[in-house]
Amino acid sequence: MEIKRVGIIGAGQMGNGIAHVFALAGYDILLNDVSKEALEAAPGIIADNMDRQVARGKITEEERDRAIGRIELAPEIASLGPTDLIVEAATEREELKHKIFASIQPYLADHTILTSNTSSISITRLASGTDRPERFMGLHFMNPVPIMQLVELIRGIATDEPTYNVMTGVVTRIGKTYSSAEDFPAFIVNRILVPMINEAVYTLYEGVGTVASIDTSMKLGANHPMGPLELGDFIGLDTCLAIMNVLHEGLADTKYRPCPLLVKYVEAGWLGRKTQRGFYDYRSGTPVPTR
């Protein structure tokens, strides 16, 4: 089947980015969010990000204008039903994702493929709550979506081969590279990345190093573009904790136990850049270590 119209559920940072790359690739987009404010802000955010691409010579003004014209706001989730592909990009909470898929199910066309941008939750479990587990996949984009090249494609136990083949074509058309991952907790990238961040938090918790010394050591000693604590702030410490909990519960291995200090930061509401405080304080405009 050919994908022409794409419904995106969630107009936050990830949903905006996904709408951005799909629209540039020529897909017609219906963008939905439960928050009226987030939905109304989305076109301006996407336009600003495309303007930066124009300034860097990545796209032309004509390509930007055509892409923006392909994005339609859809306050009612039911209006996404007839699309060819649904991409769910809501908060990383399994209960919420099940509710979203249940709410849109009565309106879906028979051919519609369902996908989730989940970074860690079982695709098989999410698919089992729908009427089409064979046409359900994980479609995990990296943040920031317009810049990062990789998309993880995750098949649930029931995902059929035609659905997988359609989605490899979609990922290729939007100019990304796909890696195929099996449906185990946190898939590939976060199975490796987030425990490293958690271990960096343990290194801070145990007094082995400060925020600055840990990040400097990994940037200069391992050639990482960002230190692990800086990266945790960028991802969101609540998201990091959620992924560690999925790993700990799903694999029952103590090496995935979330660091108590990570838990405390989340309890304090210090979630990183999005709240202006995490392992760094961003309120002054210059990141200052908080420990």
Segment 51-105, tens digit of pLDDT: 999 999 999 999 999 999 999 999 999 999 999 999 999 988 899 999 999 999 9
Of 99, 147, 97, give the one whose Cα is nearest residue 119. Answer: 97
Instruction: Identify whether residues 74 and 150 lie together within a single domain.
Output: yes
Q: What is the 3-state secondary structure (H, E, C) of 105-173?
A: HHHCCCCCEEEECCCCCCHHHHHHCCCCHHHEEEEEECCCCCCCCEEEEEECCCCCHHHHHHHHHHHHH
Instruction: Identify whether residues 283 and 226 lie together within a single domain.
Output: yes
The per-residue pLDDT for 1 is 80
The per-residue pLDDT for 207 is 97
**pLDDT(170) > 90:** yes
Tell me the mean pLDDT in the region 161-171.
98
How far is Cα 168 from Cα 175, in angstroms, rounded to an integer? 11
- Residues marked as catalytic: 119, 140, 152, 190
Instruction: Identify whether residues 79 and 174 lie together within a single domain.
Output: yes
**pLDDT(41) > 90:** yes
Instruction: Identify whether residues 90 and 195 lie together within a single domain.
Output: no
Instruction: Identify whether residues 98 and 64 lie together within a single domain.
Output: yes
Mean pLDDT of the chain: 96
> Which CATH number covers residue 76?
3.40.50.720
136-141 vs 150-155, strand pairing mode: antiparallel
Instruction: Identify whether residues 168 and 204 lie together within a single domain.
Output: no
Instruction: Identify whether residues 167 and 265 lie together within a single domain.
Output: no
Q: pLDDT (tens digit, 9 = 90+) per residue, 95-119?
A: 999 999 999 999 999 999 999 999 9
Q: Locate tokens 């990922």: which residue?
A: 171
Q: Which domain holds residue 246?
A: 189-289
Q: pLDDT (tens digit, 9 = 90+) per residue, 203-219?
A: 999 999 999 999 999 99
Q: Choose the final residue of a domain: 181, 207, 239.
A: 181
Instruction: Identify whether residues 95 and 162 lie together within a single domain.
Output: yes
Instruction: Identify whether residues 154 and 281 lie together within a single domain.
Output: no
Q: How many percent of the chain have pLDDT more than 70?
A: 100
How far is Cα 168 from Cα 5, in angstroms, rounded to an integer? 17
Instruction: Identify whether residues 132 and 155 lie together within a single domain.
Output: yes
Report yes or no on whether pTM surpasses 0.85: yes
Instruction: Identify whether residues 102 and 226 lie together within a single domain.
Output: no
Q: Choose the final residue of a domain: 132, 160, 181.
A: 181
Strand partners, 246: none
The total domain count for the chain is 2
Q: Choose the final residue of a domain: 126, 151, 181.
A: 181
> Which CATH number covers residue 208?
1.10.1040.10
Instruction: Identify whether residues 252 and 146 lie together within a single domain.
Output: no
